[in-house]
Structure 1
Amino acid sequence: MKPILSITALTVLVGLATPALASQRCSAPMAEWKPREALVDKLRAEGWTIRRIKTDDGCYKVRAVDAEGRRVKAKFDPATLERVVRDGDDD
């Protein structure tokens, strides 16, 4: 009985985690997007050195070096310019 209960519990947990993963895409309409230059200005003010910005899954995807000298891959909502937080790595 315990193995069946464990498998059922695991299935339920995976099912609950799936919507959280799907919500990590940006969904703002293009009309609400702020220009890339605004994101560059924001990140430079925080001490980042920008290497590349591209659009991915409706987000701005940034490769940069942060103020502490670490390489960073991060996604930002193009409407708010807020970082899209994911569990684990940024990419």
Structure 2
Amino acid sequence: MKTLILTALVMAFASPAFAADKCDVPTGQWQPREALQKKLESEGWKVRSIKTEHGCYEAKALDANGKKLEAVFNPKTLESVGADSDDG
């Protein structure tokens, strides 16, 4: 679990260029935001918002334990390319 948290923190402080490199996808290949929302909700997240940021999807949500999350996803694969969390 500590490794997962550490990885998330490292990814959170990566430059926007890093995330943009991971999301370098033509918009015609993007999945709809609703697909990402459905995926996250199936994992127990309560999605507050999904927006486009540096060519990626950025989701703000609460996880299954009520922890605030901010995560960045590749819009084609819906794979996470970075995350941030806030216990407060």
TM-score normalised to structure 1 length: 0.69
Measure, in 1, the Cα distance between the counterparts of 2:82 and 2:57: 13
User: What is the rounded CA distance, in whole Å, between the counterparts of 1:60 and 1:24 in structure 2?
Assistant: 10
Structure with greater Cα Rg = 1
Unmatched runs of 5 consecutive residues or more in structure 2: 1-13
Q: Which has the higher strand share?
A: 2
**Aligned match of 1:72:** 69
Residue of structure 2 in register with 1:30 after alignment: 27
Structure 2 match to 1:12: none
Structure 1: unaligned runs, 5 residues or longer: 1-19
TM-score (norm 2): 0.71
Task: Note if 1:41 corresponds to 2:38.
Answer: yes
Alpha carbon RMSD of aligned pairs, Å?
Answer: 1.7
Structure with greater contact order relative to length (CA < 8 Å, sep ≥ 6): 2
Count of matched residue pairs: 69
SS at match of 1:84: strand
